[in-house]
Amino acid sequence: MDKSEQRTIAVFGGTGRQGGSVARYLSEHGSFNVRVITRNPAASQDFADEVVYGDLTKPETLDEALAGAYGVFLVTNYWSQSTPEDWAQTPVGEWSDPVDEFAQGKAAVEAALRHGVKHFIWSTLPDTSQISNGQYNLPFWTGKARLDEVVAKAGFEYFSFVEAPFYYQNFLKEVAPAPQSDGSFAWSLPMRPDSRVMHMADIDQIGSIVLGAFLNPEAVGQGQHLSLSAGAYSWADVVRIFRALGHDVVFNQVEDTIFDGLFPGAKSVRESQQYMESHTYFGPEADRKIALAHSIATEPLTTLEDWLTANMPS
């Protein structure tokens, strides 16, 4: 089929981790015309068919960006820095104020409706406040979950939700084990080491799930949640895997009161750990959401062992 005859998928965040993965998988499959929407077209991925300017903080730029699109993949960045890689390298105490994801998402939904988009896919996260009956209200999760109802009630012919996990890539940056005086490395966190509640995956494979959703709208286009996970791990599992690969690492469980005073933002980190211990990363429906994602994924998901073997410096 000629590219001009293919349905167009507009991908937000195409120069970032999630959007870049989605654009790559769509492009490699070849069934869709891939349009990357970015604030910086000069930094666009070279595998996109189209690169257009669009800024979620400037709704007036979205009409031209979404004109003629069949589908939309939307991801927003909780932090005000331009990409997850930027804020991952910034000390917690120096993070700037988060952006208004709800306003940005709502603007994208409204623009998509104006242009007759048929299939809208939103990268969201579980509503930790609802799941925990108000005990945990983690903005990084709940700020995204607030938009789910807007998407669901918008009237799209098809709409799907994807949920990103704990990235394997975190182990190379913000969740890398800290060097110790004896030459070993350690994670020191307020979680029991045997709590197998952290759903993890290679975030670069989220495009496999999103592509699968666009290819199977009748199966997963009625508001289904698709959770990307290659497995649920505990810190004991992580230590075991790292050690098997020759890394001298340990895990230290830290008391809550001590951890809260270690650095700015520590309390939020502690509450996220406790939320997972009580409800798992993806919440009580995790197994169902993960199984549905696997059923439409276009390739098997990489295990933590295999990913670390290929990517962790020796």
**Of 248, 244, 238, 245, the residue nearest 179 (C-alpha):** 248
Q: Which tokens in the block code for residue 277?
A: 């211990």
Full residue range of the structural domain in which residue 55 is found: 3-311
* Close Cβ partners of 103 (under 8 Å, ≥ 6 residues apart): none
Q: What is the mean pLDDT of residues 227-237?
A: 98
The CATH number given to whatever domain includes residue 278 is 3.40.50.720
pLDDT of residue 3: 60
pLDDT of residue 264: 85
pLDDT of residue 90: 43
Q: What is the mean pLDDT of the chain?
A: 91
Distance CA 304, CA 233 (A): 9
For helices 139-153 and 101-114, give the axis angle rounded to 10 degrees: 20
What pTM was computed for the model? 0.92
Query: Does the pLDDT value for residue 84 go beyond 90?
Result: no
> Residue 139: what residue type?
P
Number of domains in the chain: 1
